[in-house]
Structure 1
């Protein structure tokens, strides 16, 4: 505030005198420098604040745009959520339907398994019956061979019987000739008949004996040839076997058709 020039203290701030003019302040440049510095500081702060404000505004715009975008995405997500909820409800209904159909299918499958087991048991029984029928057929073939042999023997016996029956036919023819001769001789006198009577009696006796012998032989041949009704029994067995075989074929066809239906359903 004071200067030490000339051994006096003078105030740094001196008023303008009337005699001589001068600056109101001696440190006016310092004051100008300080004011410039203050102005620069204020301008710098303003610029910095302006840049920060611009950045903040840009960030606010970006946040607004992002918020708008997020809102739009939120709206889209809400719409998709509604769709998913509706689809979830439909899927739940379909799931319930599928569970019900699964229960029905399991019930049907159990029934089909039971029927399949019964069919398998029936098939096994039919196979056993088939094997028994094959065994019976083999035995019947053997019996048929025996029957054929008996038929051949019977035919041979019939041929022999035919040969045997030819002799009584010849005897009958000879007896007819003799009867005709006797009829022709009836006109002869009784004396001739009396003389010829012993001869005719002996001839008729011989003819009766021969007839009896032939009848006895024919009866014995029939007994030897046909001891039992073999052919009728074999024919009845063959008819019963053919009927049983036809029934087995029909049952096998039914089982095959049922197996095909089960495979198609599966």
Structure 2
């Protein structure tokens, strides 16, 4: 199994195998239409509400709260609406906004035919594992919608563990599940700060950065071994990786 010293490949999920950002943008557009119909207020207020909600998503943590994900995110919408409009009685609307946002977003979570074919072919040569950060409830729903168990030997929700990416421990845990050493494993993901940094710190053979937005590396950023614009380029990169693991960005 494998070649050129590679036995396993670990994939990130969001914005690597599925377009989470694009799905979120489509969901926000639907909520804006709802707010416009319910509020009849200026677009700048609607935009501000949605921006505040998205900001709260980026800073949320479920390790220190008893709220489940749905309740926490309904509260995000409630707080965002209240901060912009001063309306203290928007509970039903906040709930409606949340479930519209969630259901719309989920509609766009699926592996494309090309991604399915790629994973199916890679699994003939490598052990594959899906490693994703985030709220376990949310990530589990994504995993089920995408039928990830069909394409991977194992799925690890880092939020269910003591440490998430980029902690080396979660990568070593994944290697243990697959029965391989870090030195024969490759990490594929879109985040320099979690996927790439974690793979480097864990001593994996190589890291592949999915840079689908054409971002430039900034000073001090983790340096991936390889950079591609699409996850569909990963099979060719795996073929090109030499035993020395020399990087070619």
Relative to the length of structure 1, the TM-score reads 0.23
More strand by share: 2
Structure number with the bigger relative contact order (C-alpha 8 A, sep ≥ 6) is 2
Largest Rg, 1 or 2: 1
More helix by share: 1
Relative to the length of structure 2, the TM-score reads 0.24
